[in-house]
Structures are given as C-alpha cells and as structure tokens.
Amino acid sequence: MKTIKQILLSVLCLIAFAACKNENKETSTTSTVSESETATTKTGQAFIQDDEATPNCLQIAIGSPDHKTLVAAVQAAQVENALVNVGPLTVFAPTDAAFAALPEGTVENLVKPENKGTLADILKYHVTPGNLSTTILTKLPKLGQANNQYVQVEVVDGKPVIGGANILASVKAGNGIVHVIDKVLLPPSK
C-alpha cells in the first residue's frame, strides 16, 4: 500500500517539477489562429494550464502511470471538464489492471463513438460530490454518484469497500480527493 502511495507522490512531484521547468515562454503580444485550429481547440476548465495550483483530479490521473486506460476513457467520453470542476469531488480511479480484468473487448467497445453516452455514465458512476476520506467513507452506507445512482459502501476489516472495489491509495487533489481502486465500478441497470 505504501509503495503505491509513494509512486503516486513521485508522479505528482515529477509533474510539479516539469511544470516549473517550463522555459519555453513566448513574449509575443499578438497571435493569430486559423479557423481550422479554432474548430479543433478543446475548451473548458480541463484545458486551462495552471503551473501553480495543486493538481486537480484529472491532472492526477493523467500523471499516473497506472491510469492510462482511465484517462483514455475520460477523453473518449469527453468528460474531462467534470473532473476539474471546483468540487470538492471524490473520484474513484480504477487502475489499468482493473480495466484489464473486464471481459475481453469491453473497453474497446465502450470507447467507440456510438457508446460515448454509456461510457460517460460509467465514468460518472466513479465520482461523488464532497471530499470523502477513507474515515468518512467507513461511516456511510452508500454514496450518491454523479450519474444520479448510488453505490454501496461496505466496511471490511475497518476499511471501506466501494461497490466491491478496494481502495489501494488516496491522493489529495486541488478539487477533492482521488481514491485509487482495484475494480471498475459498473452502475446497476436502470
């Protein structure tokens, strides 16, 4: 458990160091952007660069070597802005191994454009409002998720288990907390 925390902390330090090391500063006061560049430019809070603040939930996932699949899914569903909202947010972030444990072809199918809504629903099921530490989670029987459904919380050996997923590590974010989990949470059928 400490090893995962140390890895995540190291990744965050590397992100912070890389952000501080940005020496490519332009002094131009005017710039022009072609219409084609404007059409493909992504907008919203997720795409604002800030080198000084504590990394938000999305930045933590992007900087983690164990969350490449989660980041790809967030980008495919185009829900980046949801993870950078002011919050506070509690994000349950499944590892790449958790996604790999899904039935073969599941992830590939979900990232298809025609399944964007289903993927967004699954990802929102991993987010709840509030800054919920593991101590607080042990006191709650269920959580209201961002997709308007509930996930059950059990306490096993004094530790919270969220929808059957164990929390492997927790990382404070500028807009809440990220709990690294070992299972992808799938919402119940509506």
Q: Per residue of the chain (190 residues), give pLDDT as tens.
A: 444 444 444 444 434 433 444 434 333 333 334 444 444 555 554 555 555 568 999 999 999 999 999 999 999 999 998 888 878 999 999 999 999 999 999 999 999 999 999 999 999 999 999 999 999 999 999 999 999 999 999 999 999 999 999 999 999 999 999 999 999 999 997 5
Count the alpha carbons within 13 Å of 154 in the hemisphere toward its beta carbon.
7
Q: What is the CATH number of domain 2-16+49-181?
A: 2.30.180.10
Domains of the chain, residue spans: 2-16+49-181
0.75 cut: is pTM over it? no
CB atoms within 10 A of CB 105: 8
User: According to DSSP H, which parts of the chain are helical?
Assistant: 2-20, 35-40, 57-63, 68-77, 96-100, 106-110, 116-124, 134-137
